[in-house]
Structure 1
Amino acid sequence: MQPLAESTRVHSRRSAERSGPSVKWFLLFWILMIALGVYAVYSYTNHLKDQVLSELGSQSQQQLTVLKTDYESKIAVLTEQVKELQSTVQTFNELLTFTKDNASNKTDNSNKLYTQLSEVKKQLDALKKEMDLLK
């Protein structure tokens, strides 16, 4: 019975030797395919990352441009208001000086001018604070 056992061993060894190289090539093929798949996924994620970053950069630039123009327009409006108030304050100062120079017993008019002048100064200060906040 030993010769039969030996012939089975020899036959299984031969089949193992025949299937050995094909198994190696099969495993090598799948390892190569897996490596290529990993590389493809890595390359694609880098491509997507670059694309998203460029889109975010352009969107950020657009938003900054919009904010800058809005800020500049608000500053221009506030500057105009400050100039108008300064001219009004200067006019009131001239009127007040004239009224003081020509003052008589009627002090009610000068008190009204002082009151108006203080209100205009308050508005001017408020506008200056708004401009400082915008800067």
Structure 2
Amino acid sequence: MSTPIEANANPPVASARSAKSAKSVKTSKKSYLIFFFSWFLLIATGVLGTMLYTEHLKTRLSEQLASQTEAQLQAMQAQYQQQLDQLKASVTTDIANLQTKVDSFNELLAFTKDSANTKTDNSNQLYTQLAEVKKKLDELKQNLDVLK
């Protein structure tokens, strides 16, 4: 009798062990699945975070670059406008100086033209008066020489 009891006692222990090992295999498969899923989730989150941060940095950098470029363009435009204003003032001054030279040259040409003519007008009146005074002076000298 002791033998059949032992025979009956061993099979439930073996089946309990096999059930325990089957249960532990199922739990270990679940553990591995949860472990790998957690690692996959961590890696995916890291990659996604990196991509979002990189995009944020690109946007921020492009905004800074655009603002710097705009500031430099405004500075260059102000400098260009200043140089253009200086050039306008210089050209205006040069044109005014040239105009006065042209006017004086025109007066000289008019005086020369009037001097070449026998007829005089009001603009050359002083020159003609001096010429007349010189003629009268010459006549007076001749009359004085005759009297001597």
The runs of at least 4 consecutive aligned structure 1 residues that moved more than 6 Å come to 7-10
Deviation, structure 1 residue 55: 0.7
* Matched-pair identity in %: 22
> Unaligned 5+ residue runs, structure 2?
1-19, 118-148
CA distance in 1, matches of 2:91, 2:21: 102
Residue of structure 1 in register with 2:34 after alignment: 21
Q: Which among 40, 48, 60 is matched to residue 73 of structure 2? A: 60
Q: Which among 10, 34, 41 is matched to residue 47 of structure 2? A: 34
- Cα deviation 1:60-108 (Å, max 9, x = unaligned): 111111111011101111110111111110111111112101116xxxx
Q: Secondary structure at the match of 1:102?
A: helix
Higher relative contact order (CA 8 A, sep 6+): 1
Larger-gyration structure (1/2): 2
CA distance in 1, matches of 2:27, 2:90: 95
2:105 is the alignment partner of 1:92: yes
Residue of structure 2 in register with 1:74 after alignment: 87
Deviation, structure 1 residue 14: 3.8
CA distance in 2, matches of 1:82, 1:26: 82
2:62 is the alignment partner of 1:49: yes
Q: Secondary structure at the match of 1:28?
A: helix
Equivalent residue pairs, number: 100
Q: Secondary structure at the match of 2:116?
A: coil
CA distance in 1, matches of 2:64, 2:95: 47
- Structure 1 length as normaliser, TM-score? 0.65
- Structure 2 length as normaliser, TM-score? 0.60
Deviation, structure 1 residue 18: 2.1
